[in-house]
Structure 1
């Protein structure tokens, strides 16, 4: 039993130190409010804040598009570009280049 009389084991005889170490280990790893769970929750909060910023940016972009479409000129431009609409007695020619066409390749 001389091994337990070594000076490295002296702090293990202090019951307050043992209780403090046990409490710290418990709070860091096993408790419902542990440090590990807090880290996971903080990462999730950061991800949600990034998502929130992205959606705010998208809302601003959509509001700008809505303002453009609320005018007569903007609505006509959108209809002509997206739906190939035209005025009476007007012809539309759609020019497609080879590199812009989607071609299926048989491999």
Structure 2
């Protein structure tokens, strides 16, 4: 018991405990903030990877549309309902899509 009291009265020990408590709990970048920031960083890295893949896919599609006139025509017909001069276009919509 006597050694414990002597240890608690030591100014270096008190300073270290105060410093560690401040850093761990009360600092602007405490442990909990660091954990939250790490989670956020991981989430943002996943989003970045997703968007980089999407950009790569979109660039490939754009290149394909610019170099192949058949793909350009198919894209225009499917997305913009374009047609040739003597054609009729019928759009069929599923009822399940209308409910959403």
1:57 corresponds to which residue? Answer: 53
1:88 corresponds to which residue? Answer: 85
Per the normalisation by structure 2, the TM-score is 0.73
2:72 corresponds to which residue? Answer: 75
Alpha-carbon distance in structure 2 between the residues aligned to 1:78 and 1:48: 32
Per the normalisation by structure 1, the TM-score is 0.69
- Structure 2 gap segments, 5+ residues each: none
Cα deviation, residue 39, structure 1: 2.1
1:29 aligns with 2:29: no
2:95 corresponds to which residue? Answer: 101
Which has the higher mean CA deviation after the structures are superposed, 77-86 or 23-32?
Answer: 77-86
- Structure 1 gap segments, 5+ residues each: 1-5
Structure with greater helix percent: 2
Alpha-carbon distance in structure 1 between the residues aligned to 2:11 and 2:80: 81
Alpha-carbon distance in structure 2 between the residues aligned to 1:80 and 1:33: 55
**CA offsets per residue over residues 27-51 of structure 1, 9 Å max, x none?**
1111233222222222222222111
Supply the RMSD in Å over aligned alpha carbons: 2.5
The alignment partner of 1:65 has SS state of: helix
Alpha-carbon distance in structure 2 between the residues aligned to 1:43 and 1:19: 32
